[in-house]
Amino acid sequence: MGTAEVAEFLGVSRPRVGQLAQREDFPRPVARLAAGPVWESVDIERWARETGRMD
């Protein structure tokens, strides 16, 4: 997932994803491309559940 996909999944803005990505508990990207960081969807989903952002 790129920043736009993470933003849509979490229901936040792309700049907010950038802020969240600075947190110690936010998943680390699996890659950093010219277009930006890329995360595994399972990592984002797990983080969202663990932090109460997803049922």
Q: Is the pTM of this model over 0.85?
A: yes
Block residue for tokens 């997932």: 1
pLDDT of residue 54: 81
- Name residue 36's beta-bridge partners: 33
Helix axes 14-21, 3-10, angle to 10 degrees: 100
- Position 55 pLDDT exceeds 80: no
Instruction: Please measure the distance between the N-terminal and C-terminal CA atoms of the chain and give it in whole angstroms.
Output: 20
20 vs 7, 13, 32, 46, CA distance in Å? 10, 11, 16, 14
